Amino acid sequence: MLDAVGMRVLARSGLIAPVRPDRLLGMGLSLARWGITPAFGYAAGAARHPNRVALVDDDGSLTWREVDQRTDRLASELLVRGIRSGDPVGLLARNGRGLVEGLVSLAKVGADVLYLNTGSAGEPLAQVLDREGATAVLYDEEFAEMLRPSLEDRIGVTTGELAELARTSALGAPPKPASTSRQIILTSGTTGPPKGAARTGGGIEDAVAALSRIPLRAGETTVIAAPAFHAWGLGHLSLGMLLGSTVVLQRTFEPERVLAAVEQHRASTLVVVPVMLERLLKAAAAGTYDLTSLRIIASSGSALHGDLVQRVQDVFGPVLHNLYGSTEVAYAAVATPEDLAADPRTAGKPPHGVTLRVVDEAGHDVPPGTTGRIFVGSGLSFSGYTDGSDKDRLDGLVATGDLGTLDGEGRLTVLGRDDDMVVISGENVHPGQVEDVLAEDPSVAEVAVVDEPDPVYGVRLVAHVVPASGAEIDETHLADLVRGRLARFAVPRAFKVHRELPRNATGKVLRKDLRGGEGPA
């Protein structure tokens, strides 16, 4: 049941608006048929605004009615091919209609959708498919060879086949599924093998949480540059379904094309991961784009280091909203432009309906400014990994795995992973704080600080640095910066220069690849 705050959030977003009785009936029937799933999102949209454009991708545009009708046919075709309600089915597709129609048609079957990482290699994909018991895979043709060993005993359907079937199939709508489709999202796998975190569809309270901190509005246009197979991009795809938004997807991230799409479609929202921001800034400086329609740049996936926040605000205006969360807890905190103006390093405040606590080892809340473990709870928190394991829990809240502090205004600052904290000379060191100092130097474009074994000190910090364009790395200068801002024991004992840092498809740095690695790379 929504409270008064939730009702105001929905009214501000334009979701509370008159609906014709016949269309309202169609929306209600869609809910009864599909449950809170992507299938309901597009079926309800087809009932409410059938001729509005739902999706624009590299192959053109589709209305809400077209997506609903096409995925009806596709769901029936998948049933003919042997995919059943409750089956875990892998979906390996880049941003575009293949991904959208794949996930919607699987939801209409009642299958569980296992979102696969397009940046993964064949062996890790095979391990995930085996572990999750996937009976089938829907995939882009470019991944056919990589998936070949995994498809020997599984049903395989390409997104190209889906596109043809959506156009030519004579089958009608599928029967109501026996079970409600679950969405299984893989963790990022930056510190270990990715795990599956399953969720059923979120309710209206979950949308209220996002909309309470990110002022999206119904019927506008969103460009999703972030990969939609992962929680952040998929979350905005789901919000677009609820809001009746036009969603623009491009198969690959090319900053010039992204900005051109914002201009062409008069998009109000751009969804990115932080690593994309630097390239978007360069593209904006090199070209002339009309971006006056852009009200929101929604970013998530990793911390914003150095002066990046200020540079984004200088170029695009006060539009940046940065979300802190994870696959397991979903939304934890959002930094609005006002929060970032007060403190560029802040993760912001928890959205409406989200509980956030910073606690000591005994589970007691710590005073403002004191470091503790971050726990989060909301309707979108996962119920556990699909392999049966779980995160630490406290009074119904889930551990994010990070350490942080709250200030007197309730704004969160994330210091880094709790298992990344390093004890040097008896002192606790948070690599994220060292990264913040180093990233502020003009010679540094990107930096990641990790710990490594040391034969003399037991452990040491190593800074992996990507130089700014035309700059050279002065190790003595950077060490002095850290020593002056933090403490002697926080100074990295080695600096390794790289052309780029290893990242996964969502832009997160693969720290496990850096530990023990050599530079330059």
pLDDT reported for residue 382: 60
Does this model's pTM top 0.95?
Answer: no
- DSSP-based three-state secondary structure for 204: helix
Query: Quick one: average pLDDT of 248-262?
Result: 97
Percent of the chain scoring above 70 in pLDDT: 91
Measured CA angle at 95 (ends 352, 243), to 5 deg: 35
Helix (H) or strand (E) holding 478: helix 475-485
Comparing 39 with 199, which gets the higher pLDDT? 39
pLDDT reported for residue 521: 46
- Identify the band that residue 238 occupies on the pLDDT scale cut at 50, 70 and 90: very high
Exposure letters 378-417 (e unless 16+ CB within 10 A, then b): bbbbbeebbeeeebeeeeebbbbbbbbbbeeeebbbbbbb
- DSSP-based three-state secondary structure for 344: coil
pLDDT digits (tens, 9 = 90+) for 480-492: 999 888 877 789 9
Q: Where in the chain is the domain with CATH 3.40.50.12780?
A: 4-181, 204-417
Residue 176 is given by DSSP the state P
Query: Quick one: average pLDDT of 272-282?
Result: 91
pLDDT reported for residue 170: 95
pLDDT at 228 > cutoff 50: yes
Q: Chain-centre distance of CA 423, in angstroms?
A: 31
Query: Quick one: average pLDDT of 102-117?
Result: 96
Worst-scoring range by mean pLDDT, 9-23, 93-107, 387-401, 467-481?
387-401
Query: Averaging pLDDT over each range in 248-257, 307-316, 372-381, which range is the top one?
Result: 248-257
pLDDT reported for residue 40: 93
Q: Where in the chain is the domain with CATH 3.30.300.30?
A: 422-514
pLDDT at 59 > cutoff 90: yes
- Identify the band that residue 377 occupies on the pLDDT scale cut at 50, 70 and 90: confident
What whole-number distance in Å separates Cα of residue 194 and Cα of residue 125?
10
Query: Quick one: average pLDDT of 408-420?
Result: 84
pLDDT at 419 > cutoff 80: no
Worst-scoring range by mean pLDDT, 23-27, 95-99, 279-283?
23-27
pLDDT reported for residue 520: 46
Residue 222 Cα distances to 151, 230, 244, 440, angstroms: 35, 17, 11, 31
pLDDT at 202 > cutoff 70: no
pLDDT at 217 > cutoff 60: yes
pLDDT at 2 > cutoff 90: no
Q: Which CATH class is domain 422-514?
A: alpha beta
- Identify the band that residue 199 occupies on the pLDDT scale cut at 50, 70 and 90: low
What whole-number distance in Å separates Cα of residue 16 and Cα of residue 27?
14
Backbone torsions φ then ψ of 341, nearest 5 degrees = -70, -35
- DSSP-based three-state secondary structure for 173: coil
Q: Which fold has domain 4-181?
A: Rossmann fold (3.40.50)
- Identify the band that residue 515 occupies on the pLDDT scale cut at 50, 70 and 90: confident
Chain mean pLDDT for the chain: 89
Give the residue from 348, 335, 302 showing the smallest Cα distance to 188.
Answer: 302
pLDDT at 303 > cutoff 80: no
- Identify the band that residue 390 occupies on the pLDDT scale cut at 50, 70 and 90: low
Q: Which fold has domain 204-417?
A: Rossmann fold (3.40.50)
